[in-house]
């Protein structure tokens, strides 16, 4: 299929394509090297070529080639129709094949469970419009065809998709609500991690404190951008990292957890075909509830179920 993008600002070709389509930079580079991309009708010489506002980029996107192994991995499907599927991703499940794990991911499970997936994001990421970290749980939407994928990608780029998370943080934020606006990019100390850096891409996170404990706070986050590890990086930036976060949190953890207490609770999209506004929620996982209720019982506060009714 053919995808046309009108460039709105100056910058690198591969970067601006990725911002508009949610393609990975490596996949964009492959498309450019295969002469599948033109800029104003001409084939670019390199993926980092400079483009300017008003340039027209046309991409010939190849159809999905099924090379991913289908695997019967249990996943909860919250909603499904001909265009989309909405998943409650469990903690510990990687979204797509990479880094030596090509069989035990959400994509492998989707290939087994669903009859079709979009191919616009390449062979190893069929259907994947947005991602959750391996140890972040919760709701995410999957595209079952390329038209749906483009619609959802455009909604994300236009910031009309509402992504809401809840997390338990170390300590107490001084304000009940606020907005964090920084740039996020690769950490100079560890390239596997992200950090607030001057040369990074803009990242915007809104937060509201839902409840407070003596040494923790339960917070709702809404992200207006989708940078890698965004909430975890911004929580660290606020000096109140997510409980259980082994990469960005405290070295000494109070709870025996397999990952961070960060959950994608609610997702609101416009349906690609009907244009209906739809909201999906994923309940807190049991391990999160267990920690929350232990704190609440100790301090005589409302339990997790009661609090989530107010989120």
Helix (H) / strand (E) containing 266:
strand 262-270
Contact criterion met (CB below 8 Å) for 30 and 59 = no
Contact criterion met (CB below 8 Å) for 132 and 89 = yes
**Which of 33, 1, 5, 32 is CA-nearest to residue 17?**
5
Give the number of other CB atoms < 10 A from CB of residue 144. 22
Q: In the chain, helix, strand, coil percent, each to 5?
A: 20, 30, 50
Which class for 193: exposed (0-12), middle (13-18), buried (19 or more C-beta within 10 A)?
middle
Contact criterion met (CB below 8 Å) for 34 and 181 = no
Q: Where are the beta strands (DSSP E) in 109-215?
A: 137-143, 162-170, 177-186, 194-196, 201-212
Structure tokens at 243: 């409980």
Any idea which residues carry the catalytic annotation?
133
**Which of 125, 120, 218, 121 is CA-nearest to residue 168?**
218
Structure tokens at 249: 């949190």
Structure tokens at 286: 């049991």
């Amino acid at each position: 299929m053919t995808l046309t993008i009108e460039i709105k600002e100056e910058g690198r070709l591969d970067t601006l394509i990725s911002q508009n389509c949610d393609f990975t930079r490596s996949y964009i580079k492959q498309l450019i090297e295969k002469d599948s991309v033109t800029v104003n009708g001409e084939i670019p010489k390199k993926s980092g070529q400079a483009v300017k506002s008003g340039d027209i980029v046309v991409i010939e996107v190849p159809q999905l080639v099924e090379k991913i192994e289908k695997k019967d991995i249990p996943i909860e499907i919250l909603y499904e129709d001909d265009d989309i599927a909405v998943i409650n991703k469990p903690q510990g499940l990687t979204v797509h094949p990479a880094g030596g794990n090509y069989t035990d991911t959400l994509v492998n499970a989707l290939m087994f469970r669903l009859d079709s997936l979009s191919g616009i994001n390449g062979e190893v990421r069929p259907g994947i419009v947005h991602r959750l970290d391996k140890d972040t749980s919760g709701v995410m939407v999957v595209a079952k065809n390329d038209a749906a994928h483009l619609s959802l990608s455009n909604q994300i780029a236009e910031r009309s998709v509402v992504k809401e998370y809840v997390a338990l943080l170390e300590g107490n934020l001084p304000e009940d609500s606020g907005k964090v606006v920084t740039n996020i990019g690769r950490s100079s100390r560890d390239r596997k991690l992200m950090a607030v850096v001057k040369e990074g891409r803009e990242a915007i996170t809104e937060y509201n404190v839902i409840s407070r404990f003596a040494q923790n706070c339960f917070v709702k986050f809404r992200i207006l951008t989708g940078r890698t590890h965004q909430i975890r990086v911004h929580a660290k930036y606020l000096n109140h990292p997510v409980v259980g976060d082994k990469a960005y949190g405290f070295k000494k953890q109070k709870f025996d957890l397999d990952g961070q207490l960060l959950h994608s609770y609610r997702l609101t999209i416009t349906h690609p075909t009907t244009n209906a506004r739809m909201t999906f929620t994923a309940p807190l996982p049991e391990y999160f509830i267990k920690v929350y209720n232990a704190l609440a019982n100790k301090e005589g506060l409302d339990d997790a179920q009661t609090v989530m009714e107010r989120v």
